[in-house]
Structure 1
């Protein structure tokens, strides 16, 4: 079903995010007929480009990477696109933007701030000055929203001076993934699993987001940010909330976000001793990824030779409530790891009495593996009798491969979230109190790390991180999924 008529303004329209994620997502929605025929896209940037210059850059940099971009649908798509030069420190570009949007009088205007967070306040102030903060205007804020709780709250307060909370969409693209949304269906739509989704039956939970890439061209940004701020404070904690939250009273957006907030508030605080014992930070050294040699973090462009910024984090977290008391949640993320994978692994307790011989001394028995990327799938691992005269068990699985079970193209995460913004759906976006609570939990870890004399533990690029990460789990009678 097509969206309502809209204008979408991409601040940072010449940047990497717009060209690599946002415009391809909008093209996919256009190709499949999900965008209103009168929906327009206005890209902005500081460069003095004509519309023809900008479209030429998209032709070279975006079109070759698109699936199904025929001559006709590409020309139809770029007919939607305009370009306006805006220097956020000057007012003229915003006046031109307001005039351009007034030409269409679309009922929905979306301003996507794909810029550095320190520019958010200035952009919102200028949007308000030219009247682009009326109730039909929605503003999308990219992560990371601030550097810590104080800076995050400062940005939120500043943006909140010009936009109501119902107009602010704090985006986390992992929440747009099909398999993440399926978590709610798996948990709350199946009588088989919901009774088991608690401490009595679940032994531990692992959430991993691993990347093969290094810092690429973002060395200066990444060295000021690190993996904890870049990935844990938002992506990993949001996934934890989706796994652990109580059933919401309804599918209304605030009913879901209320339950996620309760989980964030129930996380056991990370005092200094806890942060030292239950976290591991690492930094990659030179190695090989996919058979190709890669430099170490300290050799990357824009990285100080004495940098102590972490590129890997592993954390043991616990939720202090009746459902999850005593169940460890292991969170892990890193760059330059052995493979690109994002997954959630639920490991169930063993049967109370071992009636059958064990196939492996450390067999995981039953696990639910929810793969988010590179492919989306859900796998339930079970033990069954191996064919033969003796009763020997072997592990097998019930697999749901989304690409096999559901034919046809599925919307990508950014596509789904952009369509939700245009349609005014807030459920897959973070509320301000959620974000603040996530920062409150992360802050003591950052503070503790800042006082430690030891640098991050080194690990070779192309591996699964420092050995201390495996030791963190082994102390709790567990092992990372790939190590079992």
Structure 2
């Protein structure tokens, strides 16, 4: 696939937390490795009234705080900072855009815009950019989530952006897709022959996807009160993971073909009728408890008022197609859980007949675990015979075959997800970005669940901080004879 690098980058939200923690360190990493085009300039923009020199000092402090120690190099940082410029711009004030356009200058060599702002500012931002000539055919735009809070608002945002940018120049960001381990799902599934014959309803009993956080609100109260766990995690990260697990093999590693197959999965997700939602979803909200031995407040205590926003959700989902008919996909995410963990567990069906049962040998179904964070590994749990003479019966034991990506690639620098995504934005590769039809199909499914909660007046069940959510989440799987992978 041909890549056409741009010559300029424009970062909106350039003084925010994401820019300091992720974007500036990622761009510096690309610069250090010689992956940025010679002469590429990076212009930061925000409401802050910085001059170029002041913003470079701001960026230096951010790099000093958030770069790994081994990457800190004064000479390299000095050279990187020469690429940086700054122009104040208030996205809600159209009068501030002409000065921004003048600062950016000629964009015939290509411009990549990274828009990390509140969704309410997308429309004025795009209209302002278009009015001053910063939305032409040589300009790409990267949109950081959230892309709306339901289908209607998502369509409105997409329509607004599409009025100025064609779909091939719109890069909708889900940073999970930039993680190496997430991309390894494709290598695992489509680069090995032994999984494909059993990667279906005949071979797989259930799939579990867990994204667990130990943190509470931190500084995201304003956002989280409008989102909740379902919109914050399920509507993007978790459904993207589900699609990568469930999708059909694309013919080529190509942005159109990969996203075509993901989109088919989102359209095949079984929509829940309002009366089905209570039996297939669980919502929770943490109350006071202990996380890692430290007593923490409940959600309402952190907010300072009572709220019915969910901080935990568990869902039993189905993909209604030939490959996955009858296989439950269990999704679970929450805040103030016992551990920080993102993983996918695929439990295969048991062997059709056990030859060991007459000798006391007990079999467990094989399970494939793909751990995304904090460690990165792929682990297959297989049955093994314990050493011995077997005079009192055959003893079988489940053992892990473990491929640690951290260990195997210990000598290779593991990149921040945003490094890959920013480079792909600069070079024009849409493979790891989300297409409009994907986003809107995801929201249709999410909206059906929220409509069910509203119809049933569902309120989140309380769970103590430091536990795995409400007991109803355990019942969600146990009534199917399935146990969550908590170890």
Check whether TM > 0.5.
yes
Matched, 1:395 2:398: yes
Please state whether the residue corresponding to 1:112 is helix, strand or coil.
strand
Matched, 1:25 2:31: no
Of residues 26-35 and 466-475 in structure 1, the stretch that sits farther from structure 2 once superposed is 26-35
Listed as ranges, the matches of 1:166-315 within 5 Å are: 166-300=168-302, 303=303, 305-315=305-315
Counterpart of 1:13? 14
Contact 2:87 2:103 in 1 (8 A): no
1: CA distance, partners of 2:95 / 2:361: 70
Aligned-pair CA distance for 1:249: 2.3
Change in CA separation of 1:357 and 1:181 when aligned onto 2, cut-off 3 Å: same
Counterpart of 2:318? 318
Listed as ranges, the matches of 1:340-355 within 5 Å are: 340-355=340-355
Please state whether the residue corresponding to 1:13 is helix, strand or coil.
coil
Change in CA separation of 1:263 and 1:41 when aligned onto 2, cut-off 3 Å: same
Q: Deviations over 1:382-413 (max 9, x none)?
A: 01111222231111111111121123113221
Contact 1:359 1:394 in 2 (8 A): no
Aligned-pair CA distance for 1:4: 3.4
Q: Deviations over 1:257-280 (max 9, x none)?
A: 111111111111111122111000
Please state whether the residue corresponding to 1:222 is helix, strand or coil.
helix
Counterpart of 2:72? 69
State the Cα RMSD in Å.
Answer: 2.0
Task: Please report the TM-score for the alignment, with normalisation by the length of structure 2.
Answer: 0.94
Counterpart of 2:105? 102
Change in CA separation of 1:62 and 1:466 when aligned onto 2, cut-off 3 Å: farther
2: CA distance, partners of 1:465 / 1:359: 39
Contact 2:360 2:395 in 1 (8 A): no
In the TM superposition, structure 1's runs of 4+ consecutive aligned residues that sit over 4 Å from their partners are: 357-364
Contact 2:94 2:124 in 1 (8 A): no
Counterpart of 1:456? 460
Change in CA separation of 1:266 and 1:72 when aligned onto 2, cut-off 3 Å: same
Counterpart of 1:81? 84
2: CA distance, partners of 1:360 / 1:291: 41
Please state whether the residue corresponding to 2:389 is helix, strand or coil.
coil
Contact 1:5 1:37 in 2 (8 A): no
2: CA distance, partners of 1:131 / 1:453: 48
Size of the aligned set, in residue pairs, is 479
Unaligned runs of 5+ in 1: none
Please state whether the residue corresponding to 2:466 is helix, strand or coil.
coil
Task: Please report the TM-score for the alignment, with normalisation by the length of structure 1.
Answer: 0.95
Please state whether the residue corresponding to 1:33 is helix, strand or coil.
coil
Matched, 1:471 2:475: yes
Contact 2:364 2:383 in 1 (8 A): no
Contact 1:3 1:419 in 2 (8 A): no
Please state whether the residue corresponding to 2:15 is helix, strand or coil.
coil
1: CA distance, partners of 2:359 / 2:235: 39
Contact 2:11 2:113 in 1 (8 A): yes
Q: Deviations over 1:185-231 (max 9, x none)?
A: 11112111111100011000001111111111110111111111111
Please state whether the residue corresponding to 1:247 is helix, strand or coil.
coil
Q: Deviations over 1:112-153 (max 9, x none)?
A: 110001101111111111111122211111111111100110
Counterpart of 2:135? 133
Change in CA separation of 1:129 and 1:358 when aligned onto 2, cut-off 3 Å: farther
Please state whether the residue corresponding to 2:136 is helix, strand or coil.
coil
2: CA distance, partners of 1:106 / 1:308: 50
Please state whether the residue corresponding to 1:120 is helix, strand or coil.
helix
Aligned-pair CA distance for 1:468: 0.9
Aligned-pair CA distance for 1:467: 1.1
Aligned-pair CA distance for 1:356: 2.3
